[in-house]
Amino acid sequence: MQNALREAQGREGRPGIITVQERRRRGQRSLTNIIRIINNEWLNWLHKGPSRSAMGVGSKCTAIKKSNTTDTGLSLG
């Protein structure tokens, strides 16, 4: 994942498709990085959503499934 993020940020002479804002805090854990998509083609593709042909014939899927947390039965108290 780290290599993919570095590659997407671009290199000398080649523009990137994302920016990564690190949110470091002195003496504390860092906050989550903020990743912004700056490439217009990618933004347009994301706004359109998945195409029917990409999902398969007859598919009724319109959203990405969210995973649920697993109840391990352990109590932390």
Q: Is residue 22 a part of any domain in this protein?
A: yes
How many structural domains are present in the chain? Answer: 1
pLDDT for 55 equals: 59
Q: Is residue 61 part of a domain?
A: no
Structural domain including 9 reads: 2-51
Residue 10 CA to residue 21 CA, distance in Å, equals 14
Tens of pLDDT, residue by residue over 36-62, are 999 999 999 998 987 766 656 555 555
Residue 57 lies in a domain: no
Residue 67 CA, chain-centre distance (Å), reads 15
